[in-house]
Amino acid sequence: MEDPALEPADFDTMRVGYGLHSRLDVADLDGDWLPLFTVWLDEAGRRGVREPNAMVLGTAGADGRPSTRTVLCKGADARGLTFFTTTSSRKGAQLAASGHASVTFPWLVVERQVHIEGRCDPLDRADSLAYWRTRPRGSQVAAWASEQSQPAESVEELESLFAVAEERLAGVDEIPMPDRWGGYLLTPERVEFWQGGRDRFHDRVECLRGDGGWTVRRLQP
């Protein structure tokens, strides 16, 4: 039953202004996306963005229908971005079908976003295993307990699945990595830096990968 004390959302009152930063200069990219991305990521963390490495991952299946969810970026270097998940999940199945993905880092507290699109391929098992060994034990148990994206009848079933996995692995000093778990590398082909501007006249700078390197250009807001 609807709570009569709750008022309908008034979206008109949710408008906020932007203007924390001076204009983003195309020259700030200097022919490569990674240095500025690293600076922005670090600044987002220092300014209080919780989990600044959280990114909205977009995938699409063979039917072309998109879906999104938030995952944690666990590495950024000249190759691209890495993240880890259950490969048999919905996103894993869609990545296998399309081989492409997009991510958005929504650092709205600091009026910035970065959008990245490109190929997304599984990491070598050795690379996934190296990261797996750094995960907290509880997270490792959870990966064994959950068939990610599969239906669950109840909270009690979920708790039981974890308890069973925890008991089964109780005497194991080094928990092995499940076959259904691993990492992905998103190789950027397009990177867009977005920065809030006054009067919704935002800054947008796009980096496109070509045979000769990166081409950088400004986009209209």
- DSSP character at residue 48: T
Write down the catalytic residue from 200, 204, 209, 217: 200
Handedness of CA 64, 68, 71, 74 (dihedral sign): positive
> How many separate helices (H) and strands (E) can be counted in the chain?
5, 9
How far apart CA 124 and CA 44 sit, in angstroms, is 30
How far apart CA 40 and CA 37 sit, in angstroms, is 5
DSSP H helices in 85-219? 90-98, 125-132, 137-145, 155-168
Contact 149, 95 (CB under 8 A): no
Contact 83, 57 (CB under 8 A): yes
Nearest to 90 by CA among 127, 57, 117: 57
Active site residue 125: no
Dihedral in degrees, nearest 10, Cα atoms 181, 119, 202, 217: 150
DSSP H/E element including 40: helix 34-46
Q: Which residues are catalytic?
A: 200
